């Protein structure tokens, strides 16, 4: 099994994906253990002094004005975890919770939190045992950290609350820890606060969305190329010299991908034949510009994610010179903005894909294809309602594109009076990514059928490879009307599992 070693300098996106989705094993580096011990020594020194220090010997948030005596500090740390584990609603997905816990461990191991090495090791042990705390949909405002979600994770470390075992069964956390030989932690000064004060949930969801969208943008280039073929469009608009004079890197990459898929096609360039047109419609001709803008958005979001992955997000933090200082680094604005930006890009990519699908189905604009790609139009409805479903998904994506980060709602008796709503931005982006996958799948379903209906002209070898792979996956081609939902589910899985990109790349080589 792959092992991820956590040090003091952060982790990579591939580390997050390995832990969240592939159950990679976690180890703490010797450097991290030494840094944890050194920072803890500083906290212990401050805890022994009479002067109040936020998070060490005071209450929290609006209650930070109270100095807490030494005999109550362990209770204080337990109480913050218990009281903040106040989430509601459906359970959050296992991969999100694993990413959340792993990223909190990343910050703990930075040596800036003052958490003891044994607490960090327990966090790693819980992840390695496949124990997943029950975390709920609602409870984070994206400021002062993803408080409720992280608190539910910390509660498991205490042996309290509920968690899912490696067998997928939810049970009391204490029982699961005992079965795996993990002793519950007894929190000391600052540790409870440090376990729940970070942007880890929204960051984990950002990292996973970036990975999924990277595949989806390649998928959308492939389906756009297939639609261009099916519509007998021209590939001249994809020429590198045209995109070089507007040097957006994402646009050049999208055009290059489409051109690679279309190489060797007998279907392109017929736009001057029986139904001549000077130019293809925007949804075909401008596909690289729209997909390219989305790619450049991904690049910006990836930069923000990389910075956050290298960050130590906590309040207060332990500095190398021995100071423990309050700060506002837990505010989720940098992550929230790009989560919202990605949802906008996803909605627009879905919108242009749906327009191409509609064009394939409309006999007045499809340049000779049967209405709705039906076998016997009138008797058969073909893909009419598949496009309805796609349109409904696009409409939902537009609603999901409304930014969460433009909102703020004050909390904690106005102490936390401006929040990022980054967790909400991340949750809606996950839905947007799911829906975009379905939209691309419907275009693929229509485009492969349309290409097959162009008798006498051979598609590009890459297109042929895609069509063959789709059919092998159980997605049926043209023919009389049938129950469509199973076909749509199969083509959705084909795109979601990366099989579309893999099929095209058997001919094109790696796409950009």
Owner of token pair 């021209």: 234
Tokens linked to 62? 């609006």
Residue 128 CB partners (closer than 8 Å, separation 6+): 25, 26
CB 346 within 8 A of CB 213: yes
Structure tokens given for 468: 């063959």
| Helix, strand, or coil (residue 331) | coil
Question: Rg (Cα) of the chain, in Å, rounded?
Answer: 26
Between β-strands 25-28 and 3-6, what pairing exists: parallel, antiparallel or unpaired?
A: parallel
Question: C-alpha angle 78/80/86, rounded to 5°?
Answer: 115
**Separation CA 186–CA 205 (nearest Å):** 30
What is the H or E stretch that residue 324 is in? strand 324-325
Asked if residues 81 and 94 have their Cβ atoms less than 8 Å apart, the reply is no
What is the spatial distance between Cα 197 and Cα 200, in angstroms, rounded to a whole number? 9
Backbone angles phi, psi at 178, to 5 degrees: -60, -40
Quick check: 361 and 387 in contact, CB under 8 A?
yes
> Helices 461-472 and 200-230 sit at what angle, rounded to 10 degrees?
110
Cβ atoms of 317 and 330 within 8 Å: the answer is: no
The tokens of 438 are what?
A: 């379905």
The catalytic residue among 54, 138, 388, 445 is 54
Task: Assess whether 54 carries a catalytic annotation.
Answer: yes
What residue spans of 248-286 are helical by DSSP H? 249-262, 282-285
The span from the CA of 361 to the CA of 342, in Å, is 29
Residue 375: CA count within 13 A, CB half-sphere: 8
Taking the alpha carbons at both ends of the chain, their separation in whole angstroms is 29
d(CA 457, CA 459): 7
- 355: tokens are 């327009």
Torsions phi, psi for 4 (to 5 deg): -105, 125
Token pair 């009281």 is found at 83
Catalytic residues: 54
């Amino acid at each position: 099994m792959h092992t991820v070693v956590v040090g003091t300098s952060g982790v990579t996106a591939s580390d997050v994906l390995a832990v969240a989705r592939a159950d990679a094993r976690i180890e703490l580096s010797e450097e991290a253990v030494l840094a944890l011990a050194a920072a803890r020594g500083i906290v212990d020194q401050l805890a022994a002094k009479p002067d109040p220090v936020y998070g060490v010997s005071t209450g929290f948030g609006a209650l930070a004005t109270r100095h807490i005596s030494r005999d109550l500090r362990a209770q204080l740390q337990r109480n913050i975890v218990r009281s903040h584990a106040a989430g509601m609603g459906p359970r959050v997905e296992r991969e999100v919770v694993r990413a959340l816990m792993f990223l909190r461990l990343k910050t703990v191991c930075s040596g800036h939190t003052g958490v003891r090495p044994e607490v960090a090791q327990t966090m790693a042990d819980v992840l390695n045992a496949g124990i997943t705390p029950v975390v709920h949909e609602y409870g984070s405002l994206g400021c002062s950290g993803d408080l409720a979600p992280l608190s539910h994770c910390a509660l498991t470390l205490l042996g309290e609350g509920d968690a899912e075992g490696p067998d997928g069964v939810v049970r009391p956390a204490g029982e699961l820890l005992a079965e795996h030989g993990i002793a519950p932690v007894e929190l000391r000064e600052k540790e409870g606060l440090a376990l729940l004060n970070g942007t880890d949930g929204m960051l984990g969801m950002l990292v996973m969305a970036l990975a999924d969208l990277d595949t989806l943008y390649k998928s959308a280039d492939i389906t756009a190329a297939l639609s261009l073929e099916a519509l007998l469009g021209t590939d001249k608009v994809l020429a590198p010299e045209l995109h070089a004079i507007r040097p957006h890197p994402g646009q050049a990459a999208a055009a290059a991908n489409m051109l690679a898929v279309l190489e060797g096609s007998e279907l392109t360039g017929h736009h001057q034949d029986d139904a001549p047109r000077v130019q293809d419609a925007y949804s075909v001709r401008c596909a690289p510009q729209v997909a390219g803008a989305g790619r450049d958005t991904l690049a910006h979001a990836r930069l923000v994610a990389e910075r956050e992955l290298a960050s130590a997000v906590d309040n207060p933090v332990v500095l190398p010179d021995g100071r423990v200082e309050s700060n506002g680094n837990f505010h989720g604005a940098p992550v929230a903005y790009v989560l919202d930006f990605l949802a906008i890009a996803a909605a627009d990519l879905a919108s242009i894909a749906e327009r191409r699908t509609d064009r394939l189905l409309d006999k007045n604009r499809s340049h000779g294809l049967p209405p709705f790609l039906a076998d016997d139009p009138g008797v058969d409805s073909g893909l009419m309602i598949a496009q309805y479903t796609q349109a409904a998904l696009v409409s939902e994506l537009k609603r999901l594109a409304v930014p969460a980060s433009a909102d703020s709602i004050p909390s904690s008796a106005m102490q936390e009076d401006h929040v990022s709503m980054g967790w909400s931005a991340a949750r809606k982006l996950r839905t947007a990514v799911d829906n975009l996958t379905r939209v691309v799948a419907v275009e693929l379903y229509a485009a492969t059928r349309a290409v097959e209906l162009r008798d006498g002209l051979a598609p590009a070898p890459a297109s042929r490879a895609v069509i063959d792979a789709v059919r092998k996956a159980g997605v049926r081609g043209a023919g009389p009307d049938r129950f469509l939902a199973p076909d749509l589910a199969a083509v959705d899985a084909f795109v979601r599992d990366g099989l579309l990109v893999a099929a095209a790349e058997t001919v094109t080589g790696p796409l950009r």
